[in-house]
Every structure is written in C-alpha cells, then in structure tokens.
Amino acid sequence: MILTVSVAVERWPVAGYFIISRGAKSHVDVVLCKVSDGTHTGIAEATPIYYEGESAESCAEEITRFVARYPELDRAVLLQNMPRGAARNALDCALWDLECRQRNMSLAQLAGLPGPVSLISAFTISLGEPETMEAQARQASFNGQRLLKLKLSGKDDRERVAAVHRGAPDARLIVDANESWNDLDIAAEAAQLAQYSVELIEQPVSAGQDHLLSGVRSPVPLCADESCHTSADVERLAPFYDVVNIKLDKAGGLTEAIAMAHAAQAMGMKIMVGCMLSTSLAIRPAFALAQLAQWVDLDGPLLLAKDRVDAFQFEFGRILPSESPS
C-alpha cells in the first residue's frame, strides 16, 4: 500500500537541566512522524541517539529519503532495508499506530503483549554533587517516587549513592554507570553499593569492552545498555550481563524491541525497558513492551517542562495505562 508520510522536528524544554556524565541538556529535539492511508493516520515520536551522532534533522532527512525509495511501506521493509536508530523507530511505531487505528485494536492486542497494567517506573536523579543528589532524592521520595535511577560518572560514586540513600532511605535504587567503571574493581564496587538498596547496575564498562566483565561475580545484577542494541547482540552479551535494557530508539522500533525481549527471555536474561528524553507519545509503545519487563524506566516525560495534551499519568511512582487508541 502506498502511504503518505510526513515528518517534523520538535523541541521540548527540559525541567531545569538533565545531567549525565556526557554533559547537560536543557532541551530535547524529537522527530515526529505521521503515516496515513488517507483514512487513518498513525503517529509516533523518536529521540535521536546523540551519542551515536544522530540529530533530529538527520533522522528526519533519513525518513524522507527512505520513503522516497520505498513508497510501499510496511514493517518488514523497514527491518530489511533501514538501519536501526531513531529514524526507523519513528517510522516503525507510526506503522504500528496506523494498524491499530485501521483495525480498531489496542497496541497490546495487536502486538500480542500482556496487559496493560500500571507499572512502577524509575525516576532519574541527575549527576551532581552528593548533597545535590541527596536533595533531589529526598524531593522525589516526598513526591511518591519509589524507584530511583542515579546517574554516575566513575568518580565519587559511592558517596553519591550513599547520599541518595540518606535522602530516600526507603527507595529502591538503580545506578547507571554510563560506561565509566572500566578501571574499577566492579565486584567490589557492586558489593559496596548493595548495602544502599541498589538492585541493578547499568552499563558499568564501555560498549565493546564487555569482556572486562568476564569472571566478575557481582552481588548486584549487571545490565547492558549501550552495548545492546538489537536482538543480534543478546546472545553475545549473555555471558557478561544478567539484564538487557531495551530502548526503542536504540533498537529501531517496537518490532525489533519485541524480538530483543524474546531473545533475552530465551537466554534466561531479565529485561529493563528504558527511554530517552521524550514526551508521552514516545512512551506509548515502550509502555506496551514494558509489560514484559522486570525493571521499567519510562520517566522521560517527567523530566520535561511540559508534555503533550494526551500525556501519561504518573501517580506515586507508577505510570498508568494511557487512554490513547493505541
């Protein structure tokens, strides 16, 4: 079927600053993609993977070029002919949304996913001085957040985690090392952090340096993020990690993300579903997939100064099912 595709770039301001080891962001640029059959329109949003050199403009251009070359779009054509990344994610999720509307089905029904039910989502504490992160954690706990995700840098991380634990002693914690622990004794670091209710460590070593985890006996599960992009990566990473973090922008859409989840389950690995900075529109397909996950990190909209009108509702640390048709 020949479909009409339109694409636009939107800028959304961040609430304050979002700070990780790679730098601070005051806004996020996203790609908005619409796919129409003349009667129904599917819509989706994707966030460029900036650390891989993507930009919203380059993703929009990639979509335009692809559609010109492959006017008869479907998800199989995307997987076979378009590289993974945010551009493919935008097109893939727009096609899922279009089919939901054509068939008057929910995304969970169409994709064969369970639920949806409300899920506890992590809330991100930006990288900062320990006392700043402690204050942020205290406020997040006061606001009802029960699962906090800390951005770390490989330096003074124990002090940062201890400070967050002081600020929110009843909260569960995930730490994101952002590839910064290459030169650390990871088992020893994990043992120290376990006393502060840390239950997951994301990407302790640089992508491509996963062999550094060979033989590491960590008391806290290790999660592959930047190292794991598609289902083809899962088996290779299984000897080093216990969990994979699936993000639709990395995978290049919900179609590949579902394949990643099934590959992880087949290898006996657990699943985390995460997101980039985004509005609720990008969270819709991720939330559907997150019904399979043991950890959920879909707080992207909460980190923005504002969200779309049909936003997800977050209550007491939970993300509630959307009323959207998809």
Write the pLDDT tens digit of every residue in 288-324: 999 999 999 999 999 999 999 989 999 999 999 875 4
Helix (H) or strand (E) holding 284, with range, is helix 280-289
Query: Tokens at residue 83, please?
Result: 């590289």
**4-104: which CATH architecture?**
2-Layer Sandwich (3.30)
Q: Which whole number is the average pLDDT over 170-179?
A: 96
Catalytic, out of 149, 247, 250, 270: 247
Residues 6+ apart with CB under 8 A from 182: 154, 205, 206, 209, 212
Pair 125, 148: CB distance under 8 Å: yes
Pair 220, 192: CB distance under 8 Å: no
Radius of gyration of the chain measured on its C-alpha atoms: 19
Q: Which whole number is the average pLDDT over 278-286?
A: 97
In degrees to the nearest 10, what's the CA dihedral of 305, 308, 313, 314? -30
pLDDT grade, residue 36 (50/70/90)? very high
Above 90 in pLDDT, residue 54?
yes
pLDDT grade, residue 162 (50/70/90)? very high
Q: What are the boundaries of each domain within the chain?
A: 4-104, 119-319
User: What is the C-alpha to C-alpha distance for residues 78 and 97, in angstroms, rounded to an integer?
Assistant: 15
Annotation marks residue 306 as catalytic:
no
Q: Is the dihedral of CA 164, 280, 289, 261 positive or negative?
A: negative
Q: Which whole number is the average pLDDT over 64-87?
A: 95
119-319 — its CATH code? 3.20.20.120
At 21 the pLDDT is: 54
Annotation marks residue 149 as catalytic:
no
Beta strands in 94-183 (DSSP E): 119-120, 123-125, 147-151, 172-176
pLDDT grade, residue 16 (50/70/90)? confident
Catalytic, out of 151, 155, 250, 306: 151
Q: Which of 127, 65, 110, 63 has its CA nearest to residue 91?
A: 63
At 325 the pLDDT is: 43
* pTM for the structure as a whole: 0.94
Pair 271, 247: CB distance under 8 Å: no
Tell me: the pLDDT tens digits for 229-249? 999 999 999 999 999 999 999
Q: Give the total residue count for the chain.
A: 326
Q: Which of 250, 247, 244 has its CA nearest to residue 265?
A: 244
In degrees to the nearest 10, what's the CA dihedral of 250, 324, 307, 297? -40
Residue 98, amino acid:
L
Q: What is the largest CA-CA distance in the chain?
A: 59
Above 70 in pLDDT, residue 326?
no
Q: Residue for token digits 């599917």?
A: 42
